[in-house]
């Protein structure tokens, strides 16, 4: 059944690359804080090496992951095989928010496609991986990626997205400060 490994294997990398959807989980240090779990899609994930991954974080309804990893670094990413091949791969690690203007931004940003409303990149040092059978995950057909988030950011424009970030993304729902509210990349 499942395995725990110290790095992303070539088989796991192949499985991860085939998934059009992944999930990101994080939590504040406080025992009574909210655990965040967010689905991610679009062309926003990159495997960098066997112990390093990154994803492009677009402006959205919250900024929980950035607040949590800034506070404590803990992050888990999960990839489920909803297609013909069942399986689950989890990546456990320490995350870091990479912002425009930071040296690492110049290395990571060119790896991703252009989207309106880019806020930051979450870079994860993978400490270990876990595989599971995924036999209980339903098989589904992908219709396609949604354009709703990029369309929303495009309509708002850079200043409108920045205003939204300042009003809605400055703090987590537990009151933790969240980075990523002062710049936005618009193609």
- Of the pLDDT bands very low, low, confident and very high (cuts 50, 70, 90), residue 1 is low
Question: How many CA atoms does the CB half-sphere of 93 hold within 13 Å?
Answer: 24
Q: What is the per-residue pLDDT for 180?
A: 64
53 Cβ neighbours under 8 A, 6+ residues apart: 8, 45, 46, 47, 77, 91, 93, 123, 124, 126
Tens of pLDDT, residues 86-126:
999 999 999 999 999 899 999 999 999 999 999 999 999 99
Taking the C-alpha atoms of residue 88 and residue 132, their distance in angstroms, rounded to an integer, is 5
- Of the pLDDT bands very low, low, confident and very high (cuts 50, 70, 90), residue 2 is confident
Of the listed ranges 77-81, 165-169, 181-185, the one predicted with least confidence:
181-185
Taking the C-alpha atoms of residue 70 and residue 72, their distance in angstroms, rounded to an integer, is 6
Tens of pLDDT, residues 127-177:
999 999 999 999 999 999 999 999 999 999 999 999 999 999 999 999 999
In the chain, what are the domain boundaries? 3-138+145-168
The Cα-based distances of 113 to 43, 58, 72 in angstroms read 7, 12, 29
Contact yes or no for 69/80 (Cβ under 8 A): no
Output the DSSP codes for the chain.
--EEESS--HHHHHHHHT-S-EEEEE--SSTTSPPEEEEE-TT-EEEEETTEEEEEEE--S--HHHHHHHHT-EEEEEEE--SSS--EEEEEEEEEEE-TTSHHHHHHGGGS---TTEEEEEEEEEEEEEEE--TTSPP--------HHHHHHHHHHHHHHHHHHHHHSSB-TTS-B-S--S--B--
Please give the model's pTM, rounded to 2 decimal places. 0.94
Q: Is the pLDDT of residue 20 over 80?
A: yes
Range 3-138+145-168: architecture per CATH: Roll (2.30)
């Amino acid at each position: 059944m499942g395995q725990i490994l110290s790095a992303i294997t070539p088989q796991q990398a192949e499985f991860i690359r085939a998934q059009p959807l992944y999930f990101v989980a994080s939590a504040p240090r406080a025992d009574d804080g909210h655990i965040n779990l967010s689905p991610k899609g679009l062309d926003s994930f990159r495997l960098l090496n066997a112990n390093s991954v990154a994803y492009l974080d677009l402006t959205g309804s919250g900024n929980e992951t950035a607040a949590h990893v800034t506070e404590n670094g803990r992050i888990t990413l999960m990839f489920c095989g909803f297609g013909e091949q069942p399986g689950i791969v989890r990546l456990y690690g320490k995350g870091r928010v990479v912002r425009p203007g930071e040296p690492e931004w110049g290395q990571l940003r060119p790896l991703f496609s252009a989207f309106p409303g880019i806020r930051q990149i979450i870079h994860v040092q993978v400490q270990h991986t876990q595989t599971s059978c995924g036999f209980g995950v339903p098989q589904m057909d992908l219709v396609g990626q949604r354009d709703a988030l990029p369309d929303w950011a495009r309509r708002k424009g850079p200043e409108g997205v920045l205003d939204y970030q300042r009003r809605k993304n400055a703090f987590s729902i537990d009151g933790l400060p969240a980075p990523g509210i002062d710049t936005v990349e618009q193609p």
